[in-house]
A and B are shown apart, each in its own frame.
Chain A
Amino acid sequence: MVGEPHEDYLDAPKSRAKSPVPARLSPFASGVTEPTTSVDFASSFPAPPRPFFEEPRPSSSSVYLDLASERQSVRTTHQDLEHELLQSMRSLDLMPKKHAVSNEIPSIFEGCAPETKPLPLHHDKQFFIMSSAGKPIYTMHGQDELVMGLMGIIHTVINYFKLHDTKVHSIVNSSGSSVKQRFVFLDKSPIILMAMSAREESTNDLLQQLDFLYSYLISTLSRKQLTRLFSKRENFDLRRFLTDSDFQNLNHICDSISRGFNPEFLLGALRCLPLRKSTRQIIDNTMLAQIQDPGTNVGRGTLLYGLIVAPGGQLCSVLRPRGHTLHTTDLHLLFSLVFNQFQGLQDDQELWLPICFPKFNSSGFLHCYIRLLPHHASKPRPADARSTVSHSQEPLDSLSQIRNRTDLSSTRLRPALVLISAQKESFFALKKIGQGIIDELDRQGITNQISMASDSGFTMADIPAKFVHHFIYKSKRHVQYVMPHLGPLADLSFPIIDDDSRSTFSVEGNQDNRSEENGPGAASSNDKTRQKLYLQKLMSYYTHIRNNAVSDNGKSFNNSTLTFIKWSNDQPSLEGLPSGEPINVLCLAWLTPTFELLLICNNGVSDRNTALKSAKNIVDWCRKNEHRLFVSNGAIF
């Protein structure tokens, strides 16, 4: 057990008493934005409080538990306990008296008021893709007949300005001093993309999103083909050319942009899977050994890149030629495909897929060999049985429950191996390499480690930073970011394929309402909705925080910026009257030439110095663990 190659910060607690099921029924239990469990500090000290991620919920869904607190409560080593206490919010000294601190973040944003008569086109987010001739290609919401007219207007407006030798970049509508709507256009003739947002997103954010959508189209068509299609006939209908899965993928991308928790879009960086340096080294070496193995006998240039990626698009390792890297967008696109489209693959199935990497070479295709890593987590090897059981069984159970509920056939999300070649006919060569890598990794138990790492990650408790609810740290040098684990269900954002049809979106709100009433059977989808809402909330937080350090054009205010943002109740609540949970949230954005840190403190923490100290600790910790947190060079051949 001791010899297990787990990191301390990755590791599950060594021996864990089954934690008592916390009392989950909060006095405030009700709707999503309702006040929730606050932990009154002074009173709850003796018994370790059980902060939650979200609202109180039925006890079956223990997956929602903040892993941090779970761990804290079961640490057995006295020393550890003391340490935890010191760094946790339970150290009383710094806390303002009479102040409730809770380990969750309240909703601070305007609720989307349920529209009385939802018009088909009234959304706070919309994407259009059309051809330069004004033909619709894709719309996120709404039927073709409805959007056709709008696309006509766009076409007219764009052409009007084209005649005047200029281009529309954006349209911003505001009322008084508040921005109501923002339209951003991306002209990639012969296609035009438009994003509408009534949310708090900057022009640059939207432009990034459009670029991603465009990149997707290019990845399936390639720029060359696209130009060729439209060069013949300007009013070519691209919809006929795109397949159903293309539309599904576009839907999925739009959905993950607008509803998921994908800081990739915000930060322009990839998420990286924290792994022990030695583990990563083993993976690198294994991959290198396979392609350099004379037995495999592959010519130089057969293999361009090799990637291992864990669920949630978390990069584990890169195999690349010296002096060549892949663009973040390309990788993001690839990962999005792998985890959206191809999760149904069986252990012995593999994919050979042409993809155009728009930033790598937008006019040609590369060929990807994709294979999922075998999955043994449900049958843990005896050696790590104890830790696995105590740590991940519960989440896994509920996760699989949910999986069963949503998609009976699927198993859990699994890491994947992707090998990229420029040669169409090198499938068998890559298959051989791939098999070799997988066998070797499996033999060394690495595949399990990857699965486990992606399940658990590190949590706030691993970092000596007080009062922090969650953070995102981006290393600019690596163009990668890390964040504490959100709990297994968070991976819903990178979905378990749910029925991605358009109708789902438009009636989703109604479904939620229904499910509330439908009793226990509907509880699961309720949980899912909550989790989704939590992630959206988190995303709104981060978007807002980042906007306070980055101006509309995507440039940071200054090459080094430190911003604190604080929300609190405007009017002091009246004595004796029932009131919601007091809101007092402090957030921080810290942008420097080397890193970006976005951080959300626990509700009730209002001391700037505490937040700053935690931020510094996080930065120190991330720097210290740089090799574990980020893929720095990868395996270079």
Chain B
Amino acid sequence: MAEPLELRIRNRPEDLSPAMEAISRWLGSRGAFAGAEYLALLAVEELVTNCIKYAYDDALEHWIRVGIRLSGDELVVSIQDDGHPFDPRSLPEPDTDLPVEDRPIGGLGIHLLRNLFDALDYSRVDGHNRVVLRKRAAAEPSV
């Protein structure tokens, strides 16, 4: 039973890089499947950055909790914050009929995560947003 990696990231942009390095090292030392590191880093960067930018009205210090777990061939990334309620699933999918350059630029990161991961779940519990992303190692090379 593999222990998860648990990190607390302060809502300051400069605190993101050390956390991402710690995730890289942790996944590397556990021989995660090819692509797991990219997915985990992308998820943490997109969601924690969103949170730092938009989740808080005050200038106080907040802590965002990040969990990375490998169970069998599955990567599970969880992000928890005490900011405004925000369900990333509520963002509309981009209108793919529009040329990319004419599409609204917001929501790009969430769009990527929804497409790259197998599942994106959200819950609001005790004043906290909790997003959980799951991805199984590809059984065959993705096309």
Q: Do the two shown chains form a genuine complex with each other?
A: no
Chain B residues within 8 Å of A, Cβ to Cβ: none
Chain A residues within 8 Å of B, Cβ to Cβ: none
